[in-house]
Amino acid sequence: MTEPTSPTPERVDTSRAAFRVGAGIFLSRVLGFARDALLSRFLGATAVMDVWAAAMRTPNVIQVLLGEGTLSASVIPVYSEMLGEGREEEAGRFAGAALGLVTVLAWTAALVGIAIAPAIARYAFPQFTLEQQTLLTTLMRILFPMVAFIAMSAWALAILNSHGRFFTSYVAPALWNLSMITVLVFFGLTMGWAAQGREVDLVVALAWGALVGGLLQLLIQIPWLVPVLGRFRLSVSTHVSGMGQAIRNFVPVVSARGIVGLSGLVDMIIAGILAPGAISGLYFAQRLYYLPISLFGLSVAAAELPELSRERARAREALAGRVSEALGRVAFFVIPTAVAYVVLGDLFVGTLYQGGRFGTDSTTLVYLVLVAYSVGLPASAASRALTSAYYALHDTKTPAIFAVARMILSAGTGIALMFPLENFGVGEVRFGAVGLATGATIAAWMEYAVLRRRLRTHIGDHSPAAGRITRIAVAATAAGAVGVGAKWLLGSATPAWDGLVTLALGGVAPGLILPVLAVGTGFAFGVTYLAVTSALGVGISLGAAFRK
């Protein structure tokens, strides 16, 4: 998909822009699920998988601090205003200074991380064995440079988004996933490391694949960046016009995003206290949990931020209307996704992950964690759109304060719930991780409520159209009932058609059972939801996303 290359930003159709963001994210996430499907079958919910999940989460703090969310909130409002006012010379110098500072910060943090990796492994994960800590140190020393590249690619995303170029920057992570998939297929399957019990060697090779993928994620955006940076001047100056405002935006945003990253790391550390496999359970469930947040919450927020930034001086009613529309679009997709995860999530988890070393007990754990997360999905996704409204209004402190409150509530509630739930389980799998996910959900709804209440004092009422959320919830409930019915019917018919397909395909049918159930019930759910929302007058025309 090509994108126009003129340096002058045009007004963006935010529905179309959100579609492009979502399309890019979707492609990347599909490849991410393919990567995780291989990981689950090669490693399962094991001690080595726990180490890999911890290794990915720890350097990720840098990515959260200097990643797309932080730079978008800091750079886009300032850069978009400059472009909108025709100050292209200043915009070019500002973009160059932003890149210089991000590069210095990212690589300094990466080098520090490499140096202190043994201490992180020893003190952050004391429950790991010496072998696990040694492996964790090795992986982190490879992955810290990776996140430095990803932080630089986040700068490219912010610049491209300000120029209305959305697809390329959000599809770029697909190369990151492709690089890791290539490593898993070559070493895990072709070389047979998974069958030979060389899991440690496999995850080390995977880390190197992730590092190469991070570099590719940056490089792929350069051809689209060059045409829009005609006045670009690289520097590390903090005195460039607009940089003061960006830094003022950056500090509280980093605090908020840092809390988010720290919260995820804290969950991993706390989960390490639980039975082996708890960290892996959180990791695999979070992959599904973050999909709708990225596809729908992030896509809408990313599309709205440049336009809100250009128009923040308009009447409060206009801004409230735009926020209301954004919340409505998020709800249309996220509410049914949450319902589908609750009623059909066991099929989705089993289809994606079950097999090899990932057994039915692990599927049960990941499904229950996903259910706990899903209850908070609408709040988490909507908060992305609300936070963009704050950033566009140059209020970055409020989201930061509420993010701190969310982390404290999430950790406290999660710890209180995980120990009682750790007494329950199936086989050797314990359910303590479900308590951590429940704490995160409670905190997500708290954050959403206070963000809505405070934003109302800035722009007035910004609720979606009257009755819209109720009708969406009714449609999602109806779809859930149909999905459950389809699951029962297809499941009861399994013995009959299983024998026929097994005979026809030479004994491979058992591996098709879960995928067939997942596709069949998901199709029934989706068709029902779209039909009911259309009948209730709250449907969304996807064709509008393609119109100029």
Task: Report residue 69's pLDDT band, with 50, 70 and 90 as the boundaries.
Answer: low
How many CA within 13 A on the CB side of residue 301?
26
Per residue in 32-42, pLDDT (tens digit) is 889 998 998 89
Task: Report residue 499's pLDDT band, with 50, 70 and 90 as the boundaries.
Answer: very low
Q: Which long-range contacts (CB under 8 A, 24 or more apart) does 7-10 make?
A: 7/88, 7/163, 7/227, 7/228, 7/229, 7/230, 8/83, 9/80, 9/83, 9/84, 9/162, 9/163, 9/164, 9/306, 10/164
Report whether 149 contacts 110 (CB < 8 A). Answer: no
Copy the structure tokens of residue 80. 């978009």
Report whether 418 contacts 437 (CB < 8 A). Answer: no
The mean of the pLDDT values for the chain is: 82
Among the ranges given (50-59, 237-246, 261-270), the one the predictor scored with the smallest mean pLDDT: 261-270
Report whether 164 contacts 151 (CB < 8 A). Answer: no
- Percent of the chain residues past pLDDT 70, beyond the cut: 83
Q: Which of 221, 212, 228 is nearest to 179 (CA)?
A: 212
- Note the pLDDT of residue 385: 81
How is 261-314 classified by DSSP, letter by letter?
HHHHHHHHHHHTTSSTTHHHHHHHHHHHHHHHIIIIIIHHHHHHHHHHHHTTTS
Contacts of 234 (CB under 8 A, 6+ apart): 96, 99, 100
Cα–Cα dist 507/510, whole Å: 7
pLDDT at 547 over 50: no
Q: Is 429 helix (H, G, I), strand (E, B) or coil?
A: strand
Q: Is 320 helix (H, G, I), strand (E, B) or coil?
A: helix
> Which residues partner with 358 through β-bridges?
355
> Which residue has 């395909």 as its token pair?
505
Average pLDDT over every residue of 411-435: 91
**370-385 burial string, b = 16+ CB within 10 Å, else e?**
bbbbbbbbbbbbbbbb
Q: What is the crossing angle of helices 130-162 and 299-310, to 10°?
A: 40
- Note the pLDDT of residue 243: 84
Per residue in 314-357, pLDDT (tens digit) is 556 667 777 888 888 889 999 999 999 999 998 899 888 888 88
Select the more confidently predicted residue: 265 or 418: 418
Angle at 142 between CA 137 and CA 146, to 5 degrees: 135
DSSP class of 184: I
| Beta-strand relationship, 429-430 and 425-426 | antiparallel
Q: Judging by beta carbons within 10 Å of its beta carbon (0-12, 13-18, 19+), is residue 122 exposed, middle or buried?
A: middle
Q: What is the crossing angle of helices 130-162 and 199-219, to 10°?
A: 20
Select the more confidently predicted residue: 306 or 274: 274
